[in-house]
């Protein structure tokens, strides 16, 4: 029992150190670019990623105080680098345009989000349960209790949360230059 106290102290120091390091970049998060975009801009942004040769890794979703946060992960074969696109959705009416027309592989990922969170994808050709039983009764399984939900400020305390416009000149240049080479040489 005596050993535990100094250990706890150490892990606290480690945590602090990790927290300070975290802000320094991709080698600690795995993201080379990570943006919030508005729901109406999502299709446009994904279209630009498609033109730059990215493939869709997966589509993830989080239940938060502000609503649902959709996270789209993209990576590239030539010149690898991970891009995350985040969209905030309203809890009362969680709707987001489907990106099936650009990436047909998104169809299953979107059906999975529909299963687990009840998010509706407008324009999806076949939005029916994929992994859950069609007879499943009750709320989607990954919804959190209201008391357990965390807000954006709690989960992402020190990062830019203002949505970026994909029509920005900067956006196109950055995704074209996106590469994990820098983080590779550092780590």
Residues that bind other proteins (CB under 8 A): 7, 10-11, 14-15, 17-19, 21-22, 28-31, 53, 55-58, 60, 62-63, 71, 73, 75, 77, 80, 82, 84, 91-94, 103-105, 107-108, 116, 118, 126, 128-136, 138-142, 150, 154-157, 180, 184
Angle at 98 between CA 72 and CA 126, to 5 degrees: 120
Taking the complex as a whole, the smallest distance from the CB of residue 170 to other proteins amounts, in Å, to 22
Q: How far is the CB of 169 from other proteins (least distance, A)?
A: 26
Please give the angle made by the CA atoms of 137, 139 and 140, to the nearest 5 degrees: 100
Distance CA 146, CA 33 (A): 31
**Least distance to other proteins from the beta carbon of 55, Å?**
5
Least separation in angstroms between CB 172 and other proteins: 19
Q: Which is nearer to other proteins, 157 or 170 (CB)?
A: 157
Nearest to 91 by CA among 61, 60, 129: 61
Nearest distance, CB of residue 173 and other proteins, angstroms = 22
Nearer to other proteins, 155 or 167 (CB): 155
Q: 170: burial class by Cβ within 10 Å (0-12, 13-18, 19+)?
A: exposed
Nearer CB in complex with other proteins: 22/173: 22
Are 126 and 72 spatial neighbours (Cβ–Cβ below 8 Å)?
A: no
Query: Which one-letter DSSP state was computed for residue 96?
Result: E
Quick one: 40 or 91, whose CB is closer to other proteins?
A: 91
The residues facing 85 across adjacent strands are 35, 72
For 95, phi then psi, to 5°, come to -125, 140
Which CB atom, from 24 or from 167, has the smaller least distance to other proteins? Answer: 24
């Amino acid at each position: 029992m005596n050993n535990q106290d100094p250990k706890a102290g150490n892990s606290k120091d480690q945590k602090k150190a990790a927290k300070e390091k975290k802000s320094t970049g991709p080698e600690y998060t795995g993201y080379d670019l990570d943006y919030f975009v508005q729901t109406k801009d999502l299709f446009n942004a994904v279209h630009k990623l498609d033109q730059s040769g990215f493939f869709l890794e997966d589509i993830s979703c989080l239940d938060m105080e502000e609503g649902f946060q959709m996270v789209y992960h993209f990576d590239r074969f030539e010149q690898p680098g991970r891009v995350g696109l985040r969209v905030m959705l309203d809890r009362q009416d969680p709707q987001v345009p489907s990106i099936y027309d650009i990436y047909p592989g998104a169809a299953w990922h979107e059906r999975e989000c529909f299963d687990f969170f009840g998010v509706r994808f407008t324009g999806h050709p076949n939005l029916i349960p994929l992994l859950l039983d069609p007879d499943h009764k009750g709320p989607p399984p990954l919804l959190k209790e209201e008391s357990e939900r965390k807000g954006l400020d709690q989960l992402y305390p020190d990062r830019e949360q203002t949505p970026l416009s994909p029509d920005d000149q900067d956006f196109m240049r950055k995704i074209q230059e996106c590469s994990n080479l820098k983080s590779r040489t550092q780590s």
